Amino acid sequence: MSNEDNTNHSRQVIFNISKEDSFPDWFGEIVKVAELADIRYGVKGFTPFLPWSVMSMELMYDILEDALQRKKHLPMLFPTVIPESNLTKEEEHVEGFSPDVFWIESIGDGVKLEERLALRPTSETAIYPLYSLWVRSWRDLPMKRYQRCSVFRSEVKSTRPFLRGREFLWIESHNVFKTHDGARAQVMEDLETTKEVVTDNYLIPVMVFRRTQWDKFPGGVDTFAADTLMPDGKVIQLPSTHDLGDNFARAFNIQYLDENNEKKYAYQTCYGPAVSRIYGALISVHGDNKGLRLPFKIAPYQVVVVPIFTTDNEDKIMKYCREIEDTLRAEGFRVHLDDFDATPGWKYNYWEMKGVPIRLEAGPRDLKSKQAVLFRRDSMERETVKIDKLGKRISELGDEIDRTLRSNAEAKFEGLTIDADTIGGVDDALNKGKIARVPFCTTEMDGASCAEELKDKTRGEIRGTRIDVEDKPEGICLVCGKPAQEIVYIARSY
């Protein structure tokens, strides 16, 4: 038998940690045991990602890039470094990112650079100087571009693979429009893309917020973000999109000649889905106490074939399983035949821990009856299927599994928000792993001091105002007692 495989079978396969009782332990252990990342690299916040996670993230990228390209975005790729003179052109932007920037100051044996170079924390200041050259006329607009890359931020909080690091993988989209209305329409399109990709394909439900003015993207006009709920009751930000107005266009001189041959400043947006962070949320939301449960659409292997034989029928069973593997692969499934020298029970535990959606078992009885047994990871149920019906049934099961995972995740949002009109009520809600819905004075800068007091007393952060539900402010701000102008949502977060 062959020992060839993409995975390291020497690791222990038994995984049984309560995600609900000890999520941090669950997360750390599944990252290690399922071989998603290796934290032994030796540089804080920089983590090698391993084949099992990378294979899924590649599929996630494919889905996201397909959505962007269908919506007329074109790919590009800019250098990793940004000259300091570029980074400082938009004052509010550089002030917002300065603490996070990694700087390159010398090369070789201490030779000082004429100008410091930043490892990109985000790419506005790298891209927009060239946009000022590329955008000449109203005929060039809208210009919608994106790049797939790493970004680097000197995270000072505790780092954790995927969820919070100093280097993370993302896509950033940068768009230019003639009018502010065009930019605002793009922001709404970005939020639709988030729902299509993150919820409909990755099966992660989200709440969509307009962030407060003290929590918006530095240099922008407005920030909108999608948050999801983690198993420990905290929320995590997934994609965010930013209305930049004409602030960056003025800083970087992005102008166009309109239909009357008059020069006008353009309006811009940017959108940043962090694929590695979304992956961390995905495994957290869908996993259980046996390990991962991966959506059928983004599982590296959708089907794993496990042969069951004794020494006197090994060749026949392996031939039968290879024929099944070849047939399913030809039908477009991502399928893997596990011919590693281990017992079927060991393999069952291993692939359940890895989260493979469907396991196919085939032994002597199945060979004789021209059938196979299908096991679905989400419900831990088996069924027997005739060989000529396998492809159709696997396709149906894939859809069923994805519907189940999404339904299970959405159920966690039921009863999630609790109305509170006192600081003590907010603290009680957050201690129960809930989100507090509260009357608040204002999400303009005047409300920042009230938000800071709330955070000091509850460790909760204002996520913003919901744009996917209608809220009518009533009563008074629970901090300063002024008439409430907004209904805001408060949660503990990553």
Encode pLDDT of 261-280 as tens digits: 999 999 999 999 999 999 99
| Mean pLDDT (whole number) for 292-299 | 98
| Mean pLDDT (whole number) for 159-173 | 93
Where are the domains positioned within the chain?
23-286, 301-399, 417-491
Predicted confidence at residue 146, as pLDDT, reads 98
Asked if pLDDT for residue 98 goes beyond 80, the answer is: no
Report the interhelical angle of 275-286 vs 51-70 (nearest 10°).
110
Instruction: Of 52-61, 68-77, 147-156, 373-382, give the lowest mean pLDDT range.
Output: 147-156
* CATH 4.10.91.20 at 23-286, yes or no: no
Asked if pLDDT for residue 9 goes beyond 60, the answer is: no
Asked if pLDDT for residue 49 goes beyond 50, the answer is: yes
Residue type, 210: R
Predicted confidence at residue 12, as pLDDT, reads 52
Query: Band of the pLDDT at 10, cuts 50, 70, 90?
Result: very low
| Mean pLDDT (whole number) for 128-147 | 97
Q: Which of 91-95, 99-103, 288-292 has the highest mean pLDDT?
A: 288-292
Asked if pLDDT for residue 5 goes beyond 60, the answer is: no
Euclidean distance between CA atoms 116 and 194, whole angstroms: 36
Asked if pLDDT for residue 438 goes beyond 60, the answer is: yes
Predicted confidence at residue 166, as pLDDT, reads 93
Q: Tell me which CATH code domain 301-399 carries.
A: 3.40.50.800
Euclidean distance between CA atoms 317 and 391, whole angstroms: 19
Q: How many percent of the chain have pLDDT more than 70?
A: 97
Asked if pLDDT for residue 4 goes beyond 90, the answer is: no
Asked if pLDDT for residue 396 goes beyond 70, the answer is: yes
In which element (H, E) is residue 240 found? strand 235-245
The architecture CATH gives domain 417-491: 2-Layer Sandwich (3.30)
Predicted confidence at residue 13, as pLDDT, reads 59
DSSP string, 273-314: --HHHHHHHHHHHH-BTTB----GGG-S-SEEEEE---TTTH
Instruction: Of 101-105, 320-324, 370-374, give the lowest mean pLDDT range.
Output: 101-105
| Mean pLDDT (whole number) for 444-457 | 96
Encode pLDDT of 199-244 as tens digits: 999 999 999 999 999 999 999 999 999 999 999 999 999 999 999 9
Q: What angle do CA 85, 87, 90 make, to 5 degrees?
A: 105
Euclidean distance between CA atoms 407 and 404, whole angstroms: 5
- Determine the 3-state secondary structure of 404 from DSSP: helix
Query: Band of the pLDDT at 6, cuts 50, 70, 90?
Result: very low
- Say whether the peptide bond before residue 142 is cis (omega within 30 degrees of 0): yes
Predicted confidence at residue 3, as pLDDT, reads 42
Which is more confidently placed, 45 or 457?
Answer: 457
| Residue (of 492, 456, 453, 488) closest to 473 by Cα position | 488
Q: Which residues contact 196 (CB under 8 A, 6 or more apart)?
A: 67
Asked if pLDDT for residue 439 goes beyond 70, the answer is: yes
